[in-house]
Structure 1
Amino acid sequence: MNYKGILFFKNLHLVISLLIVVPTAIIYGTPSILSTNLNIEVSTIDLSNLLKAIMCLYIGISCIWLVGIIKEKYWKSATQLNILFMLTLATGRILSIIMDGIPTNGYVFGVIAELIIGLFSVYQLKKYKTVSN
């Protein structure tokens, strides 16, 4: 495999995370999308504030992933953050499933995707710990 191919696969988990998390952040921060498409009513300023904070948290984390793709010296930290982000989200969703019941299909897909991306990121961290840009 050539050098560009190695870089593509090395960064694949971060790219996938960016492509999923940035649009999700925007959706979480836009109450009209939530009510129209996800049947979630944002009925208080406090809930709107919480969702916008989550939106910006997701975008901020995504910026670290982008830096990890662009600058080799940040790849490991970006990957570790990706592992933490995806697996803690999945853990929270699993906890909710146990305590609250099965959510809609979109959220079931979310927990599966977060587990896959989180575990794939662990694999990437182990596989590429010695490969550099």
Structure 2
Amino acid sequence: MKIPKHLNLLFSGIIVIIGGIVYGGHPTFVMPKLLGFQVVDLELKNMLRAVMGIYIGVGVYWLLGAFKTKFWYGATVCNVLFMGGISFGRIVSTIFDGVSPLFTPALILDLLFFAWGLYNLKKYKE
């Protein structure tokens, strides 16, 4: 079975957009329930909403790459860098802070999308 090259961008784009909305959509409600800390400082709210904006922007770019051939290569490089970078940060946190039951599945997904993107870049050269 041949897996279309754009599925990596489609799936990771949708997931990252949803993740961004979770982080920044309503941080004063979501963060205490999801991560166990209160968001009261304006600066923290601003940071979480900025992260939301980054995630939505990058996710939209990946979706463009999934549906528009001319954006596929650049979006896939962006995806590999994002997934590799976030995986690196989660691995550093795991080493120094311990294993997170909430974010270990995210680390596994990040590593899978990273590897899938690298595979696609090698298989479907620009």
Q: TM (normalized to structure 2)?
A: 0.90
Which residue identity lines up with residue 68 of structure 2 in the other structure?
Answer: K
- From 20, 23, 27, the counterpart of 1:25: 20
User: 2:45 aligns to what?
Assistant: 48
Q: Tell me, which stretches of 5 or more residues in structure 2 are unaligned?
A: none
| 1:121 paired to 2:112 | no
What is the aligned residue count? 124
Q: Tell me, which stretches of 5 or more residues in structure 1 are unaligned?
A: none
2:17–2:59 Cα contact (<8 Å) kept: yes
- From 75, 80, 84, the counterpart of 2:72: 75
Q: Deviations over 1:61-87 (max 9, x none)?
A: 012112212221110000000000001
Stretch moving more, 43-52 or 75-84: 43-52
Give the Å deviation of 1:47. Answer: 0.9
Give the Å deviation of 1:41. Answer: 2.0
Paired with 1:80 and 1:95, the residues of 2 have a C-alpha distance of: 22
Which residue identity lines up with residue 57 of structure 2 in the other structure?
Answer: G
- Cα RMSD (Å) of the superposition? 1.6
What SS is found at the alignment partner of 1:9? coil
Deviation >6 Å, runs of 4+: none
The percent of aligned pairs where both chains have the same amino acid is 39
Paired with 1:55 and 1:34, the residues of 2 have a C-alpha distance of: 13
Q: Deviations over 1:11-51 (max 9, x none)?
A: 11001102211110000002112222332321311111110
User: 1:112 aligns to what?
Assistant: 108
Paired with 1:14 and 1:89, the residues of 2 have a C-alpha distance of: 16
Paired with 1:22 and 1:61, the residues of 2 have a C-alpha distance of: 8
What SS is found at the alignment partner of 2:37? coil
Q: Equivalent residues in 2 for 1:70-109 (5 A)?
A: 70-103=67-100, 105-109=101-105
| 1:13 paired to 2:8 | yes
Which residue identity lines up with residue 23 of structure 2 in the other structure?
Answer: Y
